[in-house]
Amino acid sequence: MGNVAQNLGAVAPSENSDDDEDRVAPGHVDRRRVGVLAHGLIAEMLADGERAPSATRISASAARLPGLVEVGSYRMAVQQRVVTAAAVYFRLFMPTVEWTFEGAELRGPSARFDLVWRSAGGVIVDEIKSGRSATRRELSAVREQAARETHAGTAVFGPRFLGVRVVCLGAPRTSFFSDRDGQCTPLVWGS
């Protein structure tokens, strides 16, 4: 499946000992909110047929997100993080033109697929992570999630299912591809 990883975009999981990243301190932005908004923006733009939106288009689309109202005084900070996450996805992780966007938030048995892509060669799922990096604890949880999604993807798509791209928008070099056999390889972009 190395071909899939190379054709689809991104470099290798690293470990980070920052286990406090989950906590939201007063005066800080909730990264989960950023993740929900970034994922929604990417999915909306893909559904609209966008494959290479300009920074202006991404910013304008983000400014219209209804969820931004709920973040109150940190609206601009959240908007900037959402715009950055979407820009990273479209710049580094957008699959090549052979891949067709099938949908977002699709459900399988015991899993939800963030983004689903199909080509003549098969089907892949993108699991979007918007945090800056994965802690050791989170990396283990992400690998377990990728394994569940791989199992569910195989059940839904059968032998056409190739695997899951774990796309880390805040730390692209930690992104990886988990194939249908559970083997993880770094995503490599620009090749």
CATH classification at residue 119: 3.90.320
The answer to whether 114 touches 127, Cβ cutoff 8 Å, is yes
Is the pLDDT score of 26 beyond 90? no
What gap in Å lies between CA 148 and CA 116, rounded to an integer?
A: 15
Q: How confident is the model at residue 84 (pLDDT cuts 50, 70, 90)?
A: very high
Question: Is 151 contained in some domain?
Answer: yes
Summarised one tens digit per residue, pLDDT across range 121-172 is 999 999 999 876 666 777 788 888 899 999 999 999 999 999 999 999 988 9
**Among all chains, which residue has been given the structure tokens 């690998």?**
143
Instruction: Tell me the C-alpha to C-alpha distance, in Å, between residue 60 and each of 17, 63, 78.
Output: 36, 5, 14
Q: Are 126 and 153 in contact (CB under 8 A)?
A: no
Q: Would you say residue 7 has pLDDT above 60?
A: no
> What pLDDT is stored for residue 119 in this prediction?
96
Counted domains in the chain: 1
191 inside domain: no
pLDDT at 35: 86
Examine the pLDDT at 2 and tell me if it is beyond 60. no
Is residue 166 a part of any domain in this protein?
A: yes
Exposure string of 68-80, with b = 16+ CB inside 10 Å and e = fewer, is beebeebeeebbe
Kindly tell me if the per-residue pLDDT of 64 is higher than 80.
yes
Predicted pLDDT at 24: 43
pLDDT > 70 in the chain, percent? 78
Domain that holds residue 158: 2-186
Between residues 22 and 130, the one the model is more confident about: 130
* pTM of the model as a whole: 0.81
pLDDT higher than threshold 80 for residue 53? yes
pLDDT at res. 134: 61
Residue 179 maps to a domain: yes
Q: Residue 189 has what pLDDT? A: 67
